[in-house]
Structure 1
């Protein structure tokens, strides 16, 4: 489900394989970022004092296409596969985190097929119905959630005048991200990958959030 897009000049050490989080990570993420807020971010000039730490909408997801390929006992017609996330009892955790200094999408390992182990700072593409989105890996062995990947939505989030407004944007992002793809026969054939500019899907994603 993920693919590397480039390597930095300096690479951090590869962390150990991420342990699957088996319960909703909401409370642990909120505890982690409240600690960071209190210890190191509170007095920085770019924070938005109208916002507080909140994790929004976390649920487990798998990739439909990858699941069918992995479990099929006979050849699968690739044209029938719609590579979209599916609500699952055993997938990886996907949601948003609001803090006074960012509103980001988060992917947390849950034993599913959206996650892939990465070095801190390494970027990868995760495929969704709207197209691939760029996520950045992070790891801190001592943190409440040691391994996660994030996609920046609003950083810093200065445009929000209230927590409710930031929460509405976070919900809109998840709704847009996980909207069901159209049927295969209704989809236009994509251009060759070499003709697609990097970030195109991400720009479209942000436009759709803004309209929402």
Structure 2
């Protein structure tokens, strides 16, 4: 199995395809924040929509053409597996493609396994996400969100580089205990992995 590496680009002009897709992701969720979510009590008014740390993924054939990063909004923070080529057409009848819960699949980053759900947003197309935090009331500022997101990605990418492990996607849950996301973000891995809360 081939190892996977990340190629940085983010909003960097060095990778216009990645920068464009990340901008579309941010725009889609900024629109949702201002339209569908406006005024709901679940929103943290100190936060905004931000795509953080997106990097191109290189590895096995089924991983090529994807990026991994974190999408933070005033109501959630999720890992996002983003195809770099949009699939925005939807169904032939103009409807939204069906998203089935049985399509959930784990992706492994070093020793950490996360379940990713398939998603689809108009204008963005298909992508996968793994919820890390919701709601976002534990954060006082966007800077706090960004710092945690950057640290999570550092831990995942360091683990991946250290173990040279490609993410695995299978229809069934992988063996082993599931990772407690709250512990990962705010507790148990702090000392071992260097996460500052």
* TM-score normalised by length of structure 2: 0.66
Counterpart mapping for 1:61-140 below 5 A: 61-63=57-59, 66=60, 90-110=64-84, 119-121=99-101, 122-140=103-121
Q: Summarize the Cα distance change of 1:49–1:136 in structure 2 as closer, same or farther, 3 Å threshold.
A: same
Q: Does 1:211 align with 2:192?
A: no
SS state of the match for residue 35, structure 2? Answer: helix
Distance 1:167 1:203 in 2: 16
Residue 149 of structure 2 corresponds to: 170
Q: Summarize the Cα distance change of 1:183–1:107 in structure 2 as closer, same or farther, 3 Å threshold.
A: closer
| Runs of at least 4 residues off by over 4 Å | 181-184, 201-204
8 Å contact 1:95–1:105 — kept in the other structure? yes
SS state of the match for residue 46, structure 1? Answer: coil
Greater RCO (Cα-Cα under 8 Å, separation 6 or more): 1
Q: Summarize the Cα distance change of 1:120–1:144 in structure 2 as closer, same or farther, 3 Å threshold.
A: farther
SS state of the match for residue 150, structure 2? Answer: helix
Deviation at 1:93, TM superposition (A): 0.7
8 Å contact 1:177–1:205 — kept in the other structure? no
Q: Which runs of 5+ in 2 are unaligned?
A: 2-15, 86-97, 165-173
The equivalent position to 2:35 in structure 1, one of 39, 47, 64, is 39
Residue 54 of structure 2 corresponds to: 58
Task: Tell me which structure has the larger Cα radius of gyration.
Answer: 1
Q: C-alpha offsets along residues 162-197 of structure 1, whole Å, 9 cap, x if unaligned?
A: 00001111111111111145469xxxxxxxx75x23
Deviation at 1:154, TM superposition (A): 1.1
Distance 1:183 1:108 in 2: 23
Distance 1:165 1:149 in 2: 24
* TM-score normalised by length of structure 1: 0.62
Q: C-alpha offsets along residues 128-171 of structure 1, whole Å, 9 cap, x if unaligned?
A: 1133211111123xx23111111111111111000000111111
SS state of the match for residue 169, structure 1? Answer: helix
Counterpart mapping for 1:148-167 below 5 A: 148-167=127-146
Q: Summarize the Cα distance change of 1:201–1:31 in structure 2 as closer, same or farther, 3 Å threshold.
A: same
